[in-house]
Amino acid sequence: MYFSKDIVKDILVTSSHRPSRKVRSFINDLVRTIARARKINRGKKSLEDLAGIMILEGYRTLIVVNTWKANPGRMDIYRRVDKNLVKIGYIVIRSIKLSREQRVSICSIRFPKIVSDKCLSATCEAVKEILKAILEIEGNQKGMGVEDGIVHIEGGDDIIYIWFSRNGKKCGPRIGIRSAVRLYKENSQSVNRYSRRGEGIESYM
């Protein structure tokens, strides 16, 4: 794992090939907000290459931000299970507002609490399950269990919003979500019924 100021970086964030400026800006905003995340430039790296980096450096989660019409279009979420890279879900993005566009501060959150009581749809539940998988607290994290911020999930059937706050103040990017699908849960060892086109375990070793 990558260590920085006593923070274990166990989440790797990258883009699809040839990302737009807006995608790069969103990734920068996201990794500044999620303290346990680290950005890696995609370049010509394949998923196989990224899986090798995760195994070598101890990362558990990979977020790939795909470009659609020069904007962030979809986030594919992968979990490393032993030597396998497993796609655990994806989030289809409808809109993005960066910190600077909202004129809010940049915060750094290690162990956020997820608040979704204002969002009760099936999409909300999928988003919540994906976020829980991404932000799972590791036993070797210093300060484990100390919540230092909030991830808010709000909205209805048409659009869901994710936004962040710390010490009662809004911070970080706001993500508008069109849809989300949770594909795989580690304890089931199988792809769930929402899997499409055989998405699931991808072994590279």
The answer to which of 69-73, 136-140, 156-160 has the lowest mean pLDDT is: 136-140
Question: Given a cut of 90, is residue 186 above it in pLDDT?
Answer: no
- Compute the average pLDDT of residues 171-192: 78
Question: Given a cut of 50, is residue 116 above it in pLDDT?
Answer: yes
Mean pLDDT of the chain: 85
CA distances from 159 to 27, 72, 152, 153 (A): 21, 16, 14, 11
Element (H, E) at 7: strand 7-9
For the chain, domains (ranges, CATH) are 2-184 (3.40.50.10480)
- DSSP, res 111: S
- Compute the average pLDDT of residues 64-73: 96
pLDDT at 57: 94
- Compute the average pLDDT of residues 40-58: 95
CA distances from 102 to 40, 89, 97 (A): 25, 28, 7
- Compute the average pLDDT of residues 181-192: 62
Say how many C-beta atoms besides its own lie within 10 A of residue 133's C-beta: 18
Helix, strand, or coil (residue 16): coil
How far is 19 from 72, CA to CA, in rounded Å? 9
Percent of the chain with pLDDT over 70: 81
The answer to which of 29-43, 54-68, 136-150 has the lowest mean pLDDT is: 136-150
Percent of the chain with pLDDT over 90: 69
Nearest to 60 by CA among 79, 37, 77: 79
Q: Which residues face 174 on adjacent strands?
A: 97
The answer to which of 67-71, 122-126, 154-158 has the lowest mean pLDDT is: 154-158
E-assigned strands of 11-159? 11-15, 37-39, 61-68, 71-81, 84-97, 113-115, 150-155
pLDDT at 138: 46
